[in-house]
Chain A
């Protein structure tokens, strides 16, 4: 069975500070991994994805994520957050014809 754990329910970060969101997955084969962002009242937008190859992937809006097979992790990072990055972030794992999401991490950005 595939599953995703996002250990942090809520993170508050100052504008301009760095951000890291944690994601751990469980999947029996090579995973396909995704990070999505959801702004209030909106659908989910893809930030980045990992299928194979370079374990450090770049996404939109200045985000990047690193796949670490040994740790079953796919953490999302941004060096300097902007107020517009306040949103909910979801990690997802795909495979077996399914896309399974974590519970999400809400990011609050303070001035």
Chain B
């Protein structure tokens, strides 16, 4: 059963600490999205990649957030330093064709920054 896997599922950290979230896209998918979900803002697109290259990360605060795909089986989202306002659920999704395929979502990483 192919699925997007995100780790960790939950993370509690202190303000100022570095946080790394990982995503394993579905094998063969060449598009990876990172979304952030909060009560106030809903689902926000942070960044997305095609064939491991970043296509758009304009939704991401550049000073503290970074997203990478070291290889086709791993995408990472890093926050350094973390702040309480970063508390949210972060979703990774993958797809096989950019224009017209659905995105398959992982179960998310619930991040709490205290």
Contacts and interface: CB of A to CB of B under 8 A. Distances in A.
A41 B105 CA distance: 13
Interface stretch (B13-21, B42-50, B78-86): B42-50
Contacts of A103: 42
B43 A43 contact: no
A33 to B, nearest CB: 10
Given A44-B91, A90-B43, A100-B45, A95 B99 contact: yes
B105 A45 contact: yes
Contact of B43 (A32, A95, A98, A101): A101
Nearest to A30: B100
A36 B91 CA distance: 14
Interface of A is mostly: strand
Given A32-B100, A99-B45, 18 more contacts: A36-B105, A42-B108, A43-B91, A43-B105, A44-B91, A44-B93, A90-B43, A94-B99, A94-B100, A97-B55, A98-B45, A99-B33, A99-B95, A101-B42, A101-B43, A102-B42, A103-B42, A104-B43
B25 interface: no
A98 B107 CA distance: 20
Contacts, number: 49
A100 B29 CA distance: 19
A8 to B, nearest CB: 14
Contacts of A44: 91, 93, 103, 105
A97 B33 CA distance: 10
Contacts of B27: none
A98 B105 contact: no
Given A42-B107, A104-B42, A98 B102 contact: no
B102 A97 contact: no
